Structure 1
Amino acid sequence: MLRGAWLGLLLTLMATPAVATSMNAFRERAVTDPHGLIDAVRQQLDQAGIELPPARERELLWGMGTAAINSNDDAALAEATLRLDGLATVANDPVAAAAAGFLRARHDIANGVGDGLGEALKAADKVLGESDPEIVAWARFQLCDAYALDEKPAKALPLCRQAVTAYRALNDDYGIGDAENDVGIALATMDRVDDAAATYERSRQYFARAKAEQLVVMVGDNLAQMYLKQGRAREALALSRASLKQELATGRISDALNSSADIARAEAALGRHREAYEQMRKVVAQARTAGINGQLVDMLKVESRLAEQAGDLRQALADEREAARLGSAVDTPALRAIEVELEQRYAAREKELRISELEHANELKDLQLKAAEADAARRREQQQRQRLVNTTIALLAAALLLIVGLLALLLRAQRRHAAELQAQTLRDPLTGMANRRAFQQRATELLGSPREANAAPHVLLLIDIDHFKCINDSIGHLQGDRVLRLLTDYLRTAVYDCCFVARIGGEEFAVLCPQAGLAAGMRLAETLRAGVAALVLPQDLPVARLTISIGVAQFDGTRCHDLSSWMRAADLALYSAKSGGRDRVEASKLAG
């Protein structure tokens, strides 16, 4: 099993002194001294009593729960989750309720009991509407971690990458390293060995930057598994031994089991099959004693392979049967159905939140309409009591009803018209992509927003299709429009979620990347250029090959000090790429 479990929950707790009640207060100690942290939290809770603020109590209990998972202390975990549940009820604290759910989810997934993924989805749902960026990043990562460790990489990968983006916005190197580690787990589960290895290396770099050397060692065991698949057994063995030494010293039982299993695999890869088999038998016995059934399934499969290599076929078969029995106990159709239902419910809640502002505006207009209708009814009742002017009263009532009906029709027409105008003013009718007006609006908002001193500069990419006029002149504008739509479809899938893409005119597109930095912008530009050049075009499209040129400029606040100068810098870089032979990426000489 890849090492995300313990990194998942225990490393979402980075200390943040500027925030008095951060969920990230005890991350490093939960790794290096889990038993000591549990004792310290209990002492603080006992001393503070009822005077302890709810937010501080939540922070302490979350740290205690993560430390309990790291040290396999079920009693401390039960205490933390029960007290979090109580705090959620008494203080009406959805974050405390979510914290308890995430802890139970992590325990259930690790031990192969219950529906851990369902627990994680319900926990994430409780904090879906939170606006605190730390809580949003924390909850997004917990759900990513649950999917990664439940071996559902296709669903884990986008969530984990969103967590990386969220932690990057917070300048949280711990969080970035943690989320990158789970990206590596998802890639490894998909057997993308080289990509996973590169991601683990990146995770270790972020932990090193945060001076978390023990976490660098811990992720090293995940990297060791990729080294084994790459045929680098000796390097893998060294990494796993270093990780095991640290885990035994800090009492992290589950992590130690993983490292021991990886050492056995490395020994087998070096041809020491009997030694590897004997080592793995000890690991399986320890997993049974600890009651960690979620890991026991993977351990049994490893023991089965090593038993076969050592010639013990009877034990190999017994291990496979036991692993199958344990795995089927937690992967039932009923649990899968519940998970699907919870996933759909969670997605529906996200959609509801996005349209809540529009619904609120519509409700106000509906209230105005109902007020007009009520006023018409009151007038109608008064008119009915005036016997001497029945004809006048009837006409007035009819007129008022007509006005109300016209108001209702006018309101509905205005809503439709407003929606149509909004779509027309901000969307390109040919490709459906954001247009120049939408781009200028987004760029103006970005440049007008305050930016942290240490944040990377914003980056602008201007993209132009090479020889597009020749394409239109040779095969017609209809086919040229097809080329534009093909490029649009590719850009939608290839550009990062945090970036904004728009068609700003003709064959020209713009990509706005907030706080990306010039190096990341150049990497993205080169990826887009190479991706377009490698596109397989439809057979009925008479174009042999499609290429683009890209100009890249960063907003440095001096030479590029407003949108006009920024656009000009990127445009000059694009012109340079065109002049240099096309199918090229050029960085602006005016900024950077």
Structure 2
Amino acid sequence: MQRARFVTGCCIAFALPLAAGSQAAPSVAPDFPSARVAAGSHRIAEDLDDLLQFAAAASGATLTPAGRLQTAYAAAYLALLFESRAIGDRRWAQVQALAERSGDPRRVAEALQNRAEIALQAGDYRRCEELVGRLSGLASPGAEATAELFRAVLERRQGRLGGALRHGERALDLYRRLGDRLGEAQALANLGTAMRDRGDYAKALDLQLEALAIRERYDEQTETSYRNIALIYRAIEDSDAAAAYFTQALDAARRRGAPSLLAPILGSYAGLLNDLERYEEALAAAREALAIDQAIGSRPSQGLERLEAGRALAALGRRAEAEAELEQTLALGRELGQREIVATALLNLARVALDQRDRLRARALLDEALAGLETSQLKPQLAQAYELREQLATAEHDTTAALRYLGRRSALREEMLGARTSRQLAALQVRHARHEAEQRNALLTKENELQATRLHNQRLERQFGLLGIGTLLVVLGLVSWRYVSVKQRNRLLAENAGELERQRQVLSDANVQLERQAAELYHAAVTDPLTGTHNRGHLLRELNERILDAQTRERDLSLLLIDFDHFKQLNDLRGHLFGDRALVVGVQAMRQWLEPGDLLGRFGGEEFLIVLTRSDAAAALEVAERICEKVGDALRALDPDGPACTISIGIASLALVGSYRLEALIDAADQALYAAKASGRNRVIRYPSPTPLAKGSAA
């Protein structure tokens, strides 16, 4: 198929001038030459098909059944070369009928496979399932494996990941039994995509790298593997690696010369550009991909490309255009029954509604998206849905719901991007680097063995040669020549041994670097970048574990909820950079009065949590008063001539709250903080005491 598409590019370049004057091309954006090539190839296919049909009609009864089959096959293959799917479906149907009458199961299987592929690319999944059912009933070798592969793709596109994995593993087993390496690579790639949709990125990367190794050996579909690997790195937020693999994919697709290979890569690359906030480039890439897929009739891809165009337009402030693109995406996804497109369109429409503060519409869109995602288990989209639902609950001041969705999102992201997954991905990269090093080492070892064999043969030759030498001069000359040769061989062996040692050192350095990257990834995942404290997700998980430990050991635990007073006015008066400095200085002052084992983290905005693991209410009060005073002193030193900047603290202890629930403890501390704010700020209030406690006062 890839070689056919390469020939397509060459044929199009030659034939476009011939077809330019025959008839008007379909409407294609003038800024996208690749889309014009796709439309031009369709026009050429129509002209060639008309020519072949005229020749067949002129031959009439002189053609034998085998000749009619060959003519139909030539027409179908030309349509395939020039990527004209409508003509291709008609001609492959003709090939199928003629092959069935002549009893040629191999051609029947090929026709059914191509017709199923055309239906799949057009988004006609019901018709594709029907053709696949007929394909699996054939006795042709490989028909059942191909049918299982189609079923895996259909199941995945309709959001049924369990079925996709079962059919994919069955296809992989069948291709391996047949010894079909390219079929095996296709099955591995589809399994990897299903694993990526399920959020198992380590397994997905392992499968895609295995598929890439096979495809590089045969120089087939490498652009698809590069794109698949780029999508995994995009999902785990490694933008540099994703961009590098997308660049390889685009270069490989352009070398093939087939627009149908370029379009899905451009559409996926638009998603990465949106993530990097390069919205103008993202919009251009999405629209070029959309123009190509409209020309060749690939409907499922159009949905994803409209989606990325909508994201870019929304970020550029062109909300009306963005909503129009996203609504078209939603309608197309529903028509195709493709859950991924539907869910992602709903999430982006909900994001636009939240930006416009239309909470009622946002809630309806999110509820519909969650209903589909929680059954299909498309985990990356489900994590986005939980994040948007948390934002909506926060905007509606529903703290309980916001915490619930935050917990779900944190647990899901931990499952997909946690430390264990980071270590697995690092191990896969090490294994990939080790595999390349081992291949180089194997080549060097083989060369050493060859050199050793040559030396052995030369020694034998020298021994036998000496028997026939008649004079001392000839003997001395031969010995001298052999000595120089052996010395050269020994030097070559020493150089190869040094190269082996250098390769081992490269592998060792790669291991150290990847271990360091895994540690940095974990630290970034749990740390607030401004203050260096724990971030909200990690803080709440640690707090919940310490509450459970306190319950088990029957110990008390105290929570301090701290808020910087009048922080918005401080930002408005002195600027956000000064506000950031105030937060950093305040956090540094807090750290000085904490004991080993205490926990400090940023709860959100200017709010911070301190967890005193073994402190009762009285001890917590002393610590809180000391922190309140010392932070105030530090903030006054930061800006002696400015308005006083202070903090308020609410304290809650498990013994006084009477519950071991995380939400109950945070809510009690929040009530105490609210009382401190209402009582004039710059003070400490302990739950459940209604009386404000000024700095230095007793409870």
User: Under a length normalisation based on structure 2, what TM-score does the superposition of the two structures give?
Assistant: 0.49
Q: 2:168 aligns with which of 81, 84, 90?
A: 81
Q: How far is 1:111 from its partner? A: 2.1
The 3 A distance-change label for structure 1 pair 414 and 262 is closer
Distance 2:119 2:249 in 1: 19
Q: Relative CO higher for 1 or 2, CA cutoff 8 Å, sep ≥ 6? A: 1
- Partner deviation per Cα, 1:33-84 (whole Å, 9 max, x = no partner): 2344234223312x223x32x4x66554443322221012346423431233
Task: Say if 2:286 and 2:305, in contact at 8 Å, map to a contact too.
Answer: yes
Alignment equivalent of 1:288, drawn from 358, 370, 374: 374
Q: In the alignment, which of 405, 409, 419 is matched to residue 323 of structure 1?
A: 409
Structure 2 match to 1:48: 138
Query: Which residue of the other structure, out of 353, 377, 383, is the alignment partner of 1:297?
Result: 383
Kindly provide the CA deviation profile for residues 187-227 of structure 1, in whole angstroms up to 9, marking residues without a partner as x: 22223233222222222222233343553344112221222
Counterpart secondary structure, 1:164:
helix
Q: Is the 8 A contact 2:198 2:377 kept in 1?
A: yes
C-alpha separation in 2, matches of 1:342 and 1:27: 35
What code does the residue aligned with 1:43 have?
Answer: R
Shift, 1:409, TM fit: 6.4
Q: Indicate if the aligned counterparts of 1:34 and 1:71 stay in contact, CA closer than 8 A.
A: no
Out of 132, 144, 153, the position equivalent to 1:66 is 153
- Do structure 1's residue 155 and structure 2's residue 252 form an aligned pair? no
After superposition, the Cα gap between the structure-2 partners of 1:168 and 1:352, relative to the gap in structure 1 and judged at 3 Å, is farther
Name the counterpart of 2:398: 312
Q: Find the aligned partners of 1:150 and 1:36 in 2 and give their Cα distance.
A: 36
Q: Give the corresponding residue for 2:349.
A: 263
* Separation in structure 1 between the aligned mates of residue 405 and residue 288 of structure 2, nearest angstrom: 36
- Is contact 2:354-2:392 (8 Å) kept? yes
Contact 1:31–1:250 under 8 Å retained in 2 = no
* Counterpart-to-counterpart distance in 2, 1:411 and 1:337: 40
Amino acid across the alignment from 2:336: T
How far off its partner does 1:180 sit? 0.7
Q: CA deviation at 1:32?
A: 0.8
2:237 aligned counterpart, secondary structure: coil
SS of corresponding position for 1:188: helix
Which among 112, 122, 128 is matched to residue 37 of structure 1? 128
Structure 2 counterparts to residues 468-483 of structure 1, below 5 A: none
Q: Deviations over 1:8-45 (max 9, x none)?
A: xxxxxxx9835979999726625612344234223312
Q: Which deviates more, 374-383 or 174-183? A: 374-383
Distance 2:300 2:486 in 1: 71
The answer for the alignment partner of 1:104 in structure 2 is 191
Mapping 1:566-577, distance limit 5 Å: none
Aligned length: 391
Q: 1:17: which partner in 2?
A: 80
The structure-2 alpha-carbon separation of the partners of 1:328 and 1:400, relative to structure 1 and needing over 3 Å to count, comes to same
CA distance in 1, matches of 2:416, 2:231: 18
| Paired residue type of 1:104 | L
Answer 1 or 2: which has greater helix percent. Answer: 2
- What runs of 5+ residues in structure 1 fail to find an aligned partner? 1-14, 416-592
- What corresponds to 1:206 in structure 2? 292
Find the aligned partners of 1:58 and 1:205 in 2 and give their Cα distance: 33
Change (3 A) 1:251 1:317: same
> 2:631 maps to what in 1?
none
**Cα distance per residue 1:349-382 (max 9 Å; x no partner):** 56888x79x959x967974773353242365379
Q: What is the CA–CA distance in structure 2 between the aligned matches of 1:206 and 1:328, rounded to whole Å?
A: 38
Distance 2:487 2:419 in 1: 54
Work out whether 1:337 is the aligned partner of 2:423: yes
Q: Distance in 1 between matches of 2:239 and 2:114?
A: 26
Cα deviation, residue 229, structure 1: 1.8
C-alpha separation between the residues in 1 aligned to 2:448 and 2:407? 65
Q: Counterpart of 2:132 in structure 1: which amino acid?
A: V
Matches of 1:311 and 1:365, distance apart in 2? 73
Question: How much does 1:183 deviate?
Answer: 1.2
Secondary structure of residue in 2 paired with 1:151: coil
Superposed, which structure 2 residues align to 1:119-268 within 5 Å?
119-127=206-214, 129-132=216-219, 134-212=220-298, 215-268=301-354
Cα 1:306–1:225 shift into 2, 3 Å: farther
Which one of the candidate residues 377, 387, 391 is aligned to 2:460? 377
- Corresponding residue of 1:408: 489
Instruction: Report the Cα distance in structure 2 between the residues aligned to 1:414 and 1:284, rounded to whole angstroms.
Output: 62
Counterpart secondary structure, 1:271? coil
Work out which of the two has the higher radius of gyration on C-alpha atoms and give 1 or 2.
Answer: 2
In the superposition, relative to structure 1, how do residues 392 and 271 fare at CA in structure 2: closer, same or farther (>3 Å)? closer
- Structure 2: gaps spanning 5 or more residues: 1-76, 83-109, 497-699
- Alignment CA distance shift 1:100-1:216 (3 Å): closer
1:405 Cα deviation after fit: 1.7
Q: Is the 8 A contact 1:35 1:67 kept in 2?
A: no
Taking only the aligned residue pairs, the percentage that are identical comes to: 14
Q: CA RMSD in A?
A: 4.1
> Would you say the 8 A contact 2:119–2:127 is kept in 1?
no
2: CA distance, partners of 1:301 / 1:270: 17
Q: How many angstroms apart in 2 are the aligned matches of 1:414 and 1:123?
A: 32
- Tell me, in whole angstroms, the C-alpha distance in 1 between the residues paired with 2:163 and 2:135: 14
2-side partners of 1:196 and 1:382: how far apart?
A: 74
1:448-467 to 2 correspondences below 5 Å? none
Matched, 1:118 2:205: yes
State the 1:304 CA deviation.
1.3
TM-superposition CA deviations, 1:304-350 (whole Å, max 9, x none):
11222334333222211210011102223232222123224435656
| Contact 1:240–1:263 (CA under 8 A) maintained in structure 2 | yes
Other-structure match for 1:508? none
Residue number in structure 1 paired with 2:63? none
Equivalent position amino acid for 2:250 in 1: V
Matches of 1:140 and 1:394, distance apart in 2: 61
Task: Confirm or deny: 8 A CA contact 1:97 1:123 kept in the other structure.
Answer: no
* CA distance in structure 1 between the partners assigned to 2:299 and 2:412 by the alignment: 36
Write the distance in 2 (CA, Å) between the matches of 1:24 and 1:351. Answer: 43
Q: What is the alpha-carbon distance in structure 2 between the residues aligned to residue 119 and residue 103 of structure 1?
A: 12
Q: Distance in 2 between matches of 1:150 and 1:37?
A: 33
Q: Distance in 1 between matches of 2:155 and 2:204?
A: 20
Which amino acid in 1 is paired with 2:205?
G
Letter in 2 for 1:405: V
Q: What is the rounded CA distance, in whole Å, between the counterparts of 1:172 and 1:147 in structure 2?
A: 25
